[in-house]
Amino acid sequence: NAGVTQTPKFRVLKTGQSMTLLCAQDMNHEYMYWYRQDPGMGLRLIHYSVGEGTTAKGEVPDGYNVSRLKKQNFLLGLESAAPSQTSVYFCASTVTGRTGELFFGEGSRLTVL
Amino acid sequence: KNQVEQSPQSLIILEGKNCTLQCNYTVSPFSNLRWYKQDTGRGPVSLTIMTFSENTKSNGRYTATLDADTKQSSLHITASQLSDSASYICVVSYGGSQGNLIFGKGTKLSVKP
């Protein structure tokens, strides 16, 4: 039972570099989310998707882009990384957005120097 | 403003003791309230999901209560174990079909032998 898988788990970037975080789920969930978790703060929603081919902005979308070309995958991109994007990123998925149990990946720790 | 406040921020207890974590929220329109357990370096894992009509829900040694009138919830842990050491996050879902969630900052629980 893989559930939600995030890759990579760790990454160090220099300011201005780009990268993509991959989230894959094998539960046939419609809804997928990208969150960031910073010390002393609750998880904050970056972008989300309610189905294949759809994406929408969350609370803190600036500096990030996403794509959901396949139902099982949700990609988070940083086009020009900044130190403020140093964080732990979590992907999550659920069957139904409002009431469904949210399943999280193990997180991707990103450091931007 | 939609907010979720948790207390205490951190807590240390001895193995075998009970403890109660608090969550107060000002979220509207309320849909459900969730408690998650997050082990260090891992993704959050769901403990309970409670709707407006539920005032108590148990999951093993974890019992969550919800008072929708006072907008308060608590998570009671019975006969604590070392493996209960983690952050416990209160999350409130509101409005929208896509599942708008407000995350608390969490309570960090340490269980000592």
Q: Which range among A33-37, B50-54, B96-100 shows the weakest confidence by mean pLDDT? A: B96-100
pLDDT band of residue A1 (cuts 50, 70, 90) is: low
Please answer yes or no on whether A97 and B102 come within 8 Å at the CB atom.
no
| B29–chain A Cβ distance below 8 A for any pair | no
Residue B103 has pLDDT above 80, yes or no: yes
- Indicate which of A57, A104, A106, A108 best probes the interface with B, i.e. most B CBs within 10 Å of its own CB: A104
Count how many Cα atoms sit within 13 Å of the Cα of residue B47 in the half-sphere of its side chain. Answer: 29
Mean pLDDT, range A83-103, rounded to an integer: 90
Query: For all residues of chain A together, what is the average pLDDT?
Result: 94
| Nearest Cα to Cα of residue B46 among B103, B5, B95 | B103
**Predicted pLDDT of residue A36:** 97
| B45–chain A Cβ distance below 8 A for any pair | yes
Please answer yes or no on whether A98 and B102 come within 8 Å at the CB atom.
no
Q: Which range among A92-96, B13-17, B98-102 shows the weakest confidence by mean pLDDT? A: B98-102
**Predicted pLDDT of residue B99:** 65
| B101–chain A Cβ distance below 8 A for any pair | yes
* B4 chain-A contacts, CB cut-off 8 A: 42
pLDDT band of residue B52 (cuts 50, 70, 90) is: confident
Mean pLDDT, range B23-38, rounded to an integer: 93
Please answer yes or no on whether B51 and A99 come within 8 Å at the CB atom.
yes
**Predicted pLDDT of residue B80:** 97
Q: Which residue has better confidence, B99 or B87?
A: B87
Q: Does residue B12 contact residue B84 with C-beta atoms inside 8 Å?
A: no
| Nearest Cα to Cα of residue A8 among A81, A111, A94, A113 | A111
- In chain A, the residue whose alpha carbon lies closest to the alpha carbon of B29 is A98
Strand order in the sheet with A4-7: A4-7, A19-25, A73-78, A64-67
> Percentage of residues in chain B with pLDDT exceeding 90?
83
Please answer yes or no on whether B51 and A107 come within 8 Å at the CB atom.
no
Mean pLDDT, range B35-63, rounded to an integer: 95
